[in-house]
Structure 1
């Protein structure tokens, strides 16, 4: 998934259900200068999503 986020950042957002964010990223990626920030944004968003899921799992385990 990280490879998709680097090569096709907009597809990474689409696959995770963030359609509007995917369109914004696609518009940003259409410019040559905007491709690098779009790729960084997609990777950072992917890592942040994984960390939030991990925190929710740990919180559920602590409550039991």
Structure 2
């Protein structure tokens, strides 16, 4: 999460979203754009973690249901 706030574009690149990382970097170049880029990266990271958690729960439910 610290990486998403300090260097938002790297957060996207490390997660394999190269194009999104480049777009975020272009936004981050401006001082005013740094805050929205950091918020975007932090929310994206949070959503990604939640999606992984939900997929894991769905998989566990399907395995126990059969």
State the TM bucket, normalised to the shorter chain. Answer: over 0.9
Structure 1 position 38, deviation (Å):
0.0
**RMSD (Å) for aligned C-alpha atoms:** 0.3
- Listed as ranges, the matches of 1:47-62 within 5 Å are 47-62=46-61
| TM-score, normalised via structure 2 length | 0.94
Moved over 2 A (4+): none
Q: Which residue of 1 aligns with 2:31?
A: 32
More helix by share: 2
Count matched residues: 63
TM-score (norm 1): 0.97
Larger radius of gyration: 2
